[in-house]
A = this chain, B = another copy of it.
Amino acid sequence: MTPAPVSPAAPRVAPVWLARYRAVRAQSQALCAPLLPEDTVVQPMLDVSPPKWHLAHTTWFWETFLLTEYAPGYQLFHPDYAYLFNSYYNSLGSRVNRADRGTLSRPALADVLAYRAHVDAALTQLLTERRDLPPVFFELLELGLQHEQQHQELLATDIKYILSTSPLAPAYIGEELAEVRVSSEELRVDSADALAPTLNSSLLTSNSKAASWLPVPGGVHRIGFQESGFCFDNELAAHDVLLAPFELQNRLVTNAEFQAFIEAGGYRDFRYWMGEGWDLAQAQGWEAPLYWMRHADGWHRFTHHGLQAVRPDAPVTHISFYEADAYANWAGARLPTEAEWETAARHFGATTSAGTWLESNLFDPQPLPADADPAQCHQLLGDCWEWTYSAYHAYPGYARAAGALGEYNGKFMVNQLVLRGGSCATPENHIRVSYRNFFHADKRWQFTGIRLAR
């Protein structure tokens, strides 16, 4: 997820800010606590950054945008770190090629943690001692917190990908699931056998009720950020849209439903697919969501808990837009636009399920409770990012910020698609009805899912 700045924040009470700052910073490190130093270095694909890099880049953000500007006499931790840990800001000079992030063993994790401590000390001192910090400083402080939280979601999904590449399928969380572990040898199924009839018999038995269709009235609706508090600049300006009446399913598509698509040959029938998606799926041999693999006992998938059987009633996740769209075509439905999604979310009064994100997080979207009300719209916020059929473009009246932060969001506003709703890996205050996430149509390593419209 590539982030985007702005919007003022209210009373400037330093102790409150300090507490938030400390909590966010601690959470980034807590996410890496289960890792070995080796895990923090590697970059198994271009979209994934090494955890060590995330820890350092978020720190560089504080150093570059706040400390060098507002902390008199601040000493850079190291003169080369700006080169090493700038992500994509052309305004701020040259930087390590993105594809090379995983070739740098140094600075070591310990050095990066020392860098974090250095910056934390300086920022703590600044917040504690200075009384004359200007409003723009607090706007940047807010942005820095939001930015670091966005990287927390990336940390969660990048760690999953990193651990998945080992045939050992190591678990990020807990040991209690170790019994599902099997030798990777056992898991290898010849592709020739991969679609054999016997496997069909392992079709997942679902306990879910069929999804119900909920109507949303047409007419002029207002979308975009309209509340108080922080938002990113890409949620502005709020504006009216004209919609025809439509219906939305009351829950996300489940693994069992998606398996029916697989078993019906959905991955082998071009008629359901966008042309570029079909070509990619053929070239890469897709036949199921990312992380799924066939096992003699049925489908398994890699999770933060290691290798597990696919749970039929949980939402399907780790699919590209192409797969979401093909599924919708196969199912005789379609994906909603982002205006439809936001209008529906507002119409149904979507709220996040409470719960502290990190402490209890399973990093695994959960099934709908058996007694969920079919007349209600569920799983809108905090389960899976829902692909919409809307390109990620600027809203009417959008303007890029001046300076380096103008690169935060605006330059990505073409060739990507909007996702809505937040996932199980999204920090809580990044989930709101107006929040716009965006990825290219082929991306699968985020917690992405499907909601049908018609």
Contacts and interface: CB of A to CB of B under 8 A. Distances in A.
A133 interface: no
Contacts of A106: 36, 38-39, 163, 166, 168, 170
Given A239-B244, A271-B406, A103 B44 contact: yes
Interface residues of A, number: 69
B321 A414 contact: yes
Interface in A203-261: 220, 239-242, 244
Nearest to A165: B103
Interface string A95-107: 0000010111111
A343 interface: no
Contact of A185 (B80, B163, B407, B413): B80
A181 B98 CA distance: 26
Contacts of A185: 79-80, 83
Given A80-B183, A389-B393, A105 B41 contact: yes
Contacts of A271: 90-91, 406
Contacts of A108: 36, 38-39
Given A36-B108, A441-B414, A80 B270 contact: no
Given A107-B166, A390-B391, 7 more contacts: A41-B42, A41-B105, A42-B104, A220-B242, A239-B244, A276-B415, A414-B417
Interface of A: 36-44, 52, 78-80, 83-84, 88, 90-91, 100, 102-110, 162-163, 165-168, 170, 183-185, 220, 239-242, 244, 270-271, 273-278, 321, 325, 389-391, 393-394, 396, 406-407, 411-415, 417, 441
